[in-house]
Amino acid sequence: MNNTTGQNTSARLTRTFSVSEFMDFGERYGIDYRFPQLSQKSGLPHSSPVLQGNVEEMTLPCGMCVTHSDVQVLQPYETTSRHSSPLYMLVVLEGCVILTLNGQEHVVRSGMAFSSRLSEHQTMNARHSADCKLRTLSLGLYPDGAWRTGLLESLMVEWEKCQTPTLIWQVPGFLLSGLQYAQQSTLSYVSRQLMLEGLILQLFGHGLSVCQVESGKRQAVSGEQQRLEIVRRLLEQTPENDYTLSELAQRAAMSPSSLRSKFRAAYGCSVFDYLRDCRLERARGYLLEGYSVQQAAWMSGYQHATNFSTAFRRRYGFSPGDVLKLC
């Protein structure tokens, strides 16, 4: 969901967004909000205004989620996105957004785009200053989206091959002009959908070409990094298997102690913390498909449903049985 604001609307309405609306949105879509100038001691004043303007969210026929924000920032705020997206892009049409990813700060100015992959292990923070005008397009592909067939899936395959998954680049003028035109209030909702879908496909196509050029300029990823990635992908793709540190170290052509320290340095968590998260995410998918708790646990690599339930509740804050109740 949109990391710039916090409201889902079906029509572009000028309105004021308060702290309470931000907090509600964060609960629904996995975004943590922080308001540095508001007193934390006496509790947040939930009626305090944060933004004024209009916001529109839509899901395009291709399965891409798009949020257009045209707002005036009234209250400085910070966000941390906890959702996952195999490909996320933020286009700044007016104003400036400061993003932090993996400890590295990125300044995205008017006419520029930021693209990256977001996950539980690669969260994005954003800072927004008060008294500034901000117009952005937030674009995302989400793991359970309808994009997994056709052109966008091919885009993801090519994007995965690039060695520059996080990139800031200048959007061509003809695309900026098209995006500006597609936001006119005189156009119908369907007209904007059709225009935006074509423009956004061009946007991702241009971003992919920039990514490929930048990848070609950089040196090939070191053999050590490649071997670490082999281990990471193995854990991600087959988390249900049993692994030992020694076995994984052999695959990476490293000693167990080297793998332990270098994996943490590269991905921000231990080998087996990563494996646990992959198993739990796989199990959550099985539960949403209607499998029992015991089946989801076993198919994801857990021998005992009680251990699985404990780890699941600790990770997500609710039990596997609660997921089944939603199905």
Element (H, E) at 314: helix 305-316
**Which residues have C-beta within 8 Å of that of residue 316, sequence separation ≥ 6?**
280, 284
Residue scoring higher pLDDT (176 or 85): 176
Give the separation between CA 184 and CA 178, rounded to whole angstroms. 10
Residue scoring higher pLDDT (323 or 280): 280
Residue 197: pLDDT above 60? Answer: yes
CB 194 within 8 A of CB 62: no
Bridge-based pairing state of the strands 31-34 and 77-81: antiparallel
pLDDT of 144: 62
Tokens for 6?
Answer: 């916090």
pLDDT tens sequence across 208-228: 888 877 776 654 446 788 899
Counted residue by residue, the chain has a size of 327
The number of beta carbons lying within 10 Å of the beta carbon of residue 144 is 9
Tokens for 316?
Answer: 């997500």
Share of the chain above pLDDT 70, in %: 88
Helix 271-288 to helix 256-267 angle, to the nearest 10 degrees? 60
pLDDT band at 7 (very low <50, low <70, confident <90, very high): very low
Give the separation between CA 233 and CA 287, rounded to whole angstroms. 23
Q: Which segment of 56-60, 108-112, 214-218, 297-301 scores lowest on mean pLDDT?
A: 214-218
pLDDT band at 13 (very low <50, low <70, confident <90, very high): low
Share of the chain above pLDDT 90, in %: 35
pLDDT band at 131 (very low <50, low <70, confident <90, very high): confident
The owner of tokens 């308001």 is: 35
CB 320 within 8 A of CB 327: no
Rounded to the nearest integer, the mean pLDDT of the chain is 83
What burial class does residue 305 get, using C-beta atoms within 10 Å of its C-beta: 0-12 exposed, 13-18 middle, 19+ buried? middle
Mean pLDDT (whole number) for 94-118: 89
pTM: 0.60
Q: Which segment of 150-164, 185-199, 275-289, 306-320 scores lowest on mean pLDDT?
A: 150-164
The owner of tokens 């909702």 is: 189
pLDDT tens sequence across 228-248: 999 999 999 999 999 999 999
Secondary structure, 3-state, 269-303: CCHHHHHHHHHHHHHHHHHHCCCCHHHHHHHCCCC
Tokens for 290?
Answer: 């209607």
SS3 content of the chain, % helix, strand, coil (to 5): 45, 25, 30
CB 44 within 8 A of CB 35: yes
Give the separation between CA 309 and CA 213, rounded to whole angstroms. 46
pLDDT tens sequence across 134-183: 999 988 877 666 555 677 778 878 877 776 668 898 999 999 999 888 87
CA–CA–CA angle 14, 97, 43 (5° rounding): 70
Tokens for 45?
Answer: 């004043």
